[in-house]
Amino acid sequence: MTRGEYGGGLGEEFFTPGSSSFSEFLAAHRPELLSTRRVLPDGVRAAPDQVPHGTTVLALAYRDGVLIAGDRRATMGNLIAQRDLEKVHPADDLSAVAFAGTVGLALDMVKLYQVELTHFEKIEGTPMTLNAKARRLAGMIRDNLGQAMQGLAVVPLLTGYDPSKPEGERGRIFSFDVAGGLYEKRDFQAEGSGSPYARGALKKLFHRGMSRREAALTALQALYDAADDDSATGGPDINRRIFPIVSVITEDGFERLPESETEELSREMAEQRSSRPDGPTATP
């Protein structure tokens, strides 16, 4: 019997030397708490119209760092499961993660990842490097491979501000595949069912050295294009006052744009689209 089983103290596992990974600690001592490692019975697949899925998320580098944004819709098949889902979350002071895919597992993964980074910093006395954060998230996605193959995939998008890089290159973007493959994207990236349309808009509108306002408008234009062609992606809902989540990471840390600012930019964009439905043309 360990001390923890009496309810009066910590168990022996808390006093046993190990790695600085919180998820590895759980896997060794409380594996039942890791929802990303639970696999459905053989031959069973999740019904796509019974599990909420979230799309679309994107990121782009700009003059002061990196911007990450997401629409608010979650769907179950042809039904809208939620109109105001939050898909963009801070990971720590200098990084953020957004997700597309199975909502329940994605939210669990985001929470575990936040604890993972905090735990590492407390154990090691220093924050993870951004490269290490990306590799750690890739490992967590790989742990979910069994469920991904059964229709419960999670595809995050990681962004961060890296002070070790030269000025103008400190905003970094990492994408992943369902098997935990890790890919750094130089300028922009989008994930989710609306991502082909969002990437097309970003390719047209992106240019280096954008201000925060320009980057935010570009992200909103890309999400609008995604919603225009993908029914699983939600555009700005003016009547319900539900707008995409837009956040930035700079040398000052993570900041979510105030809803008032996002609403102002969304209304400006919608007004422009009323006279030009296809959106702005490419920057010369």
**Residues catalogued as catalytic:** 55
CB 138 within 8 A of CB 182: yes
Other residues' Cβ atoms within 10 Å of the Cβ of residue 232: 21
- If you ran DSSP here, which 8-state letter would residue 103 be given? H
CB 66 within 8 A of CB 225: no
CB 226 within 8 A of CB 194: yes
Q: Give the separation between CA 232 and CA 224, rounded to whole angstroms.
A: 12
Q: Give the separation between CA 127 and CA 108, rounded to whole angstroms.
A: 22
What is the end-to-end Cα distance of the chain in Å, rounded?
71
